[in-house]
Amino acid sequence: MFSIGAMSDRTGVKVPTIRYYEDMGLLAPAERTAGNQRRYGAAALDRLTFIRHARDLGFTIEAIAELISLGAHPDQPCAGASQIARDQLADVRARLARLQRLEVELDRIVSGCSGTGTLDKCHVMAALADHDHCVTEH
């Protein structure tokens, strides 16, 4: 059995977040000691590790809950899990494309400013004050 602190130490998930996951139903409610301290078994540690890894990959709480629900039926086809992962990949790719547009625009803004003038003639300040100075949609 693991205390909530031990679960935190082993997974890198902060104690309040573990409580939150429990409140959200992602983790089963912990057993309690006579002193009302939470105690988790190996299955809870495995589940928390799964949640942590999924969060590191950017999955939403809702997607993780769905994956956990799917995982409760290991004999079923994995098409649902695969679709959730494909949706996450599409979201990551969209965010990357947006970040690349931001990079291009910020590079253009920074390149237009020598950093030696005064703020009243600063290209960075002018570009930030008026979106019409931007060349790309970001």
pLDDT at 126: 85
Q: pLDDT digit string (tens) for 17-46?
A: 999 999 999 999 988 988 889 999 999 999
Where are the domains positioned within the chain? Answer: 4-76, 80-133
Which residues are within 8 A (CB) of 87 and not within 5 positions of it... i.e. 6 or more apart?
Answer: 63
Nearest to 69 by CA among 24, 38, 32: 24
pLDDT at 131: 79
Q: Is the dihedral of CA 105, 111, 115, 121 positive or negative?
A: negative
Q: How confident is the model at residue 120 (pLDDT cuts 50, 70, 90)?
A: confident
DSSP 8-state assignment for residue 76:
S
What is the second-level CATH architecture of the domain 4-76?
Orthogonal Bundle (1.10)
Q: How confident is the model at residue 85 (pLDDT cuts 50, 70, 90)?
A: very high
pLDDT at 12: 97
Instruction: Over range 50-75, report the average pLDDT.
Output: 96
